[in-house]
């Protein structure tokens, strides 16, 4: 039978409760680097896992005592639901939805705030625009609500942190899997752990993937390799060395345009769910990434420990594409406008982070004190080349709609952006978690950030302009939380937290003579919540929040030179989730979120924030029919949403049904069949701009075979 305890402990959790053990239970967890301290054995006493198991939170606090919404998706959940990307995960996470990301990157919406950069790898910033794989993950951690204290700049709506697998000392094993789906996409993965001595081990994860889907001409190849070595230098000191290589080469697909309708906003073009609105040979993206990391953990005493991480990452990214930029449906067969460009990014990140955690008592109060610092340097070269159509001698052309498209001759010629930027930042933070009574805890802290960005705009250089832009921001971001526990298995919390985003944007590309004078965007998150362990294996969580965003800039997706300033926005909402074992055989994860996002001021005053569905529902049921056979059924609902703040295009709501069947031939070999969109619903799951709207996959299936040696 599948390990239901592990599944329950690490499934998606709306407000951070991880339950599933009786109060007197204890369990030994295999060695891991998921948290801030590495132990040979982590012993869990009582009903809560220490947050040493959660990389996103830097103090050893029971999860029920965290005053913030937190979701965890384990490797088991990724495997059981056949998730292949972060977008799959977000469909089953309350308060989050996916954005198209122009067909070449992860892009998400958290509580009404869109981001392409609020991603972390083992707690370290990973902000280049690309599709992040899941092959080597122990878990994915999703924190909602602004919290600069833990992560620094950005993260206005929250952050996503991927935690990778770490070597296990005292064991050797190998597991492999292979899968293929209806469209012909297939993947193979391998995970091997080698014990190299009593105090050392090496773990190697790798994957190869052929990419395909329902869209005409769409394909791609992706592969990665991740060796990790662990050395226990003493009982108190551990060092982990990490390297990851990623290579991604795929088609860029930006979906379908919108069409005008009478007496209402425009809607996505229907009837062309497979049609590719681009050039099959020229719409492409490539990524080559090298990520190196060294981490040392040391226990100084029973009450003091610390860690230091150094990470260097090099990213080489290219994407180029044609895409729909308008559609006139007043004539038959309709007139389609095409636009395009090529974009290159080369970035190197060097980040050093250190933390000290101390637990002590002064008088009647117990303290858990966190003191940390982070230093970083990020160098980026970015260039954009516009396209020129031979017939129009312009970057745009209007042609008659056909299937497939007949694309006129074009080339990528004029250089329209050529910038080099250097970002350096220094951060120090302190947080004290104070137990002021047996049932009352207080969390108070702040982070100081100095963010220095220098941009050289090569195209702006002339006799009177050296092309240099720059800005230095110094920000203090507070965090305050209180937890009240009227009973052992019930907690109520209230929290306030802030974060900021510099005017250069999350990719440092929008700094100009205008934006360099703008103050950073400020995000303020106020939240109250409750967590209740209904039984030893079933939890209910709830949160109610208000997220206020200060003045921000909005870049026109069709013309990056057009930047408008929006006075602000507010998102109010709540999240509910029920997670755990209803019976010994039936596991359920059910979530709901309500989001009310509103733009404040400017030409869009009173409009709904971009890509913010008001209602989202997800339910996943898994039932163990026999020792060898299990079945599952999932349903997700996403409400309608406006693509941009102008509210000109409305994407309709949809309901999608998924299912799965699992069969274990033995303790080491199993097979599973995952069926996606069981009822063959036509739907539009995401968008980038008003004329770039993704179409959902039709009914399809993925067959996976796994074996452990």
In tens, the pLDDT along 95-125 reads 899 999 999 999 999 998 989 989 999 999 9
Other beta carbons within 10 angstroms of residue 241's beta carbon come to 15
- Rounded CA-CA distance 460/462 in Å is 6
Q: Residue 186 forms beta bridges with which residues?
A: 180, 210
- The pLDDT assigned to 170 comes to 92
- Rounded CA-CA distance 249/288 in Å is 9
User: 513, 376, 538, 369: which is closest to 21 by C-alpha?
Assistant: 538
User: Cα dist. 168→145, 174, 199, 231, 681 in Å?
Assistant: 34, 12, 10, 10, 44
- What backbone phi and psi angles, to 5 degrees, belong to 224? -155, 160
Q: Using one digit for the tens of pLDDT, what is the confidence trace for 457-490? A: 999 999 999 989 888 999 999 999 999 999 988 9
Reduced to 3 states (helix: H, G, I; strand: E, B; else coil), residue 543 is strand
- The pLDDT assigned to 17 comes to 34
User: 76, 32, 75, 34: which is closest to 51 by C-alpha?
Assistant: 34
Span 208-235, average pLDDT: 97
User: 556, 99, 116, 509: which is closest to 326 by C-alpha?
Assistant: 556
User: From start to end of 458-558, where are the E strands?
Assistant: 468-487, 490-501, 521-535, 538-549, 552-556
Strands 335-362 and 365-389: antiparallel
Residues 693 and 685: beta-carbon distance below 8 Å: no
How many whole angstroms from its chain centre is CA 623?
28
- Rounded CA-CA distance 119/123 in Å is 9
Q: What is the value of pTM for the model shown?
A: 0.89
- Rounded CA-CA distance 338/389 in Å is 10
Reduced to 3 states (helix: H, G, I; strand: E, B; else coil), residue 539 is strand
User: Cα dist. 14→64, 97, 457, 581 in Å?
Assistant: 12, 14, 43, 16
- Rounded CA-CA distance 67/445 in Å is 13
Q: What is the DSSP string of 39-78?
A: -S-EEEETT---GGG-TTS-S---GGG--SEEEEEEHHHH
Span 300-326, average pLDDT: 96
The answer, yes or no, to whether residue 6 has pLDDT greater than 70, is no
Greatest pairwise CA separation for the chain in angstroms: 81
Answer whether the bond into residue 333 is a cis peptide, omega within 30°.
Answer: yes
User: Cα dist. 139→225, 682, 697 in Å?
Assistant: 18, 31, 26
The answer, yes or no, to whether residue 24 has pLDDT greater than 70, is no
Q: In terms of pLDDT, which residue wins out, 10 or 375?
A: 375
| Cα dihedral across residues 574, 580, 581, 587: positive or negative | positive
- The pLDDT assigned to 345 comes to 95
- Rounded CA-CA distance 205/227 in Å is 6
pLDDT-derived band at 679, boundaries 50, 70, 90 = very high
CATH superfamily ID and name for 4-301+311-708: TonB-dependent receptor, beta-barrel domain (2.40.170.20)
pLDDT-derived band at 13, boundaries 50, 70, 90 = very low
Q: Using one digit for the tens of pLDDT, what is the confidence trace for 637-668? A: 999 999 999 999 999 999 999 999 999 999 99
Span 664-683, average pLDDT: 97
Output the six-digit token pair for 199.
């105090």
The answer, yes or no, to whether residue 513 has pLDDT greater than 90, is no
Q: Using one digit for the tens of pLDDT, what is the confidence trace for 526-576? A: 999 999 888 888 888 899 999 999 877 666 655 555 566 778 899 999 999
**Tokens 């340097």, residue located:** 377
Reduced to 3 states (helix: H, G, I; strand: E, B; else coil), residue 656 is strand
């Amino acid at each position: 039978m599948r390990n239901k305890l592990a599944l329950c402990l690490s499934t998606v959790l709306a407000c951070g409760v991880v339950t599933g053990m009786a109060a007197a239970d204890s369990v030994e967890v295999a060695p891991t680097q998921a948290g801030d301290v590495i132990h040979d054995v982590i012993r869990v006493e009582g009903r809560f896992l220490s947050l040493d198991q959660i990389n996103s939170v830097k103090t050893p606090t029971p999860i029920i005592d965290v005053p913030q919404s937190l979701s965890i998706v384990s490797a088991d959940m990724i495997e059981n639901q056949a998730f292949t990307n972060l977008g799959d995960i977000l469909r089953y996470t309350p308060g989050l939805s996916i954005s198209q990301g122009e067909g070449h990157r992860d892009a998400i919406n958290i509580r009404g705030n869109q981001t392409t950069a609020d991603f972390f790898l083992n707690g370290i910033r990973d902000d280049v625009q690309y599709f992040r794989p899941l092959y080597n993950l122990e878990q994915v951690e999703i924190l909602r609500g602004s919290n600069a204290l833990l992560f620094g700049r950005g993260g206005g709506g929250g952050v996503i942190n991927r935690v990778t697998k770490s070597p296990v000392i005292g064991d050797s094993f190998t597991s492999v899997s292979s899968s293929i789906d209806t469209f012909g996409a297939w993947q193979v993965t391998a995970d091997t752990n080698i014990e190299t001595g009593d105090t050392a081990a090496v773990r190697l994860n790798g994957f190869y993937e052929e990419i395909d889907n329902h869209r005409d001409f769409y394909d791609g190849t992706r592969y990665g390799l991740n060796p990790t070595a662990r050395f226990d230098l003493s009982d108190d000191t551990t060092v982990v060395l990490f390297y990851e290589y990623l290579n991604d080469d795929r088609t860029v697909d930006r979906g379908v345009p919108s069409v005008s309708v009478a007496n209402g906003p425009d809607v996505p073009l229907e009837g062309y769910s497979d049609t590719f609105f681009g050039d099959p040979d020229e719409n492409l993206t490539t990524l080559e990434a090298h990520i190196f990391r060294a981490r040392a953990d040391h226990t100084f005493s029973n009450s003091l420990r610390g860690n230091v991480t150094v990470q260097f990452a090099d990213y080489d990214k290219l994407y180029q594409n044609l895409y729909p930029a308008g559609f006139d449906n007043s004539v038959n067969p309709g007139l389609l406008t095409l636009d395009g460009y090529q974009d290159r990014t080369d970035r190197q990140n060097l980040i050093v982070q250190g933390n000290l955690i101390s637990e002590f008592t002064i008088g009647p109060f117990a303290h858990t004190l966190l003191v940390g610092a982070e230093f970083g340097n990020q160098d980026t070269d970015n260039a954009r080349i516009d396209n020129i159509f031979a017939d129009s001698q312009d970057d745009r052309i209007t042609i008659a709609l056909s299937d497939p498209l007949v694309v006129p001759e074009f080339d990528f010629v004029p250089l329209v952006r050529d910038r080099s930027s250097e970002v350096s930042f220094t951060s120090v933070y302190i947080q004290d978690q104070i137990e002021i009574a047996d049932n009352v805890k207080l969390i108070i802290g702040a982070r100081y950030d100095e963010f220095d960005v220098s941009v050289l705009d090569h195209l702006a250089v002339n006799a009177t302009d050296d092309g240099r832009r720059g800005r230095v921001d110094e920000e203090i971001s507070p965090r305050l939380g209180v937890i009240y526990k009227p009973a052992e298995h019930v907690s109520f919390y209230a929290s306030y937290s802030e974060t900021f985003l510099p005017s250069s944007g999350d990719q440092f590309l929008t700094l100009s003579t205008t934006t360099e004078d703008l103050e950073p965007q400020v995000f303020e998150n106020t939240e109250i919540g409750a967590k209740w362990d209904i039984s030893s294996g079933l939890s209910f969580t709830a949160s109610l929040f208000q997220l206020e965003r200060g003045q921000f800039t909005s870049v026109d997706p069709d013309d990056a030179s057009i930047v408008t300033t929006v006075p602000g926005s507010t998102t109010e909402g709540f999240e509910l989730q029920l997670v755990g074992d209803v019976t010994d055989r039936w596991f359920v994860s059910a979530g709901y979120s309500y989001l009310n996002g509103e733009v404040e001021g400017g030409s869009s005053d009173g409009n709904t924030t971009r890509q913010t569905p008001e209602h989202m529902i997800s339910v996943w049921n898994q039932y163990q029919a026999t020792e060898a056979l299990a079945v599952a059924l999932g349903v997700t609902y996403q409400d309608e949403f406006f693509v941009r703040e102008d509210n000109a295009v409305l994407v309709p709501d949809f309901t999608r049904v998924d299912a799965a069947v699992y069969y274990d031939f033995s303790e080491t070999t199993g097979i599973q069949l995952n069926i996606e969109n069981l009822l063959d619903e036509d739907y539009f799951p995401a968008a980038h701009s008003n004329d770039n709207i993704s179409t959902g996959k039709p009914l399809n299936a993925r067959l996976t075979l796994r074996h452990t040696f």
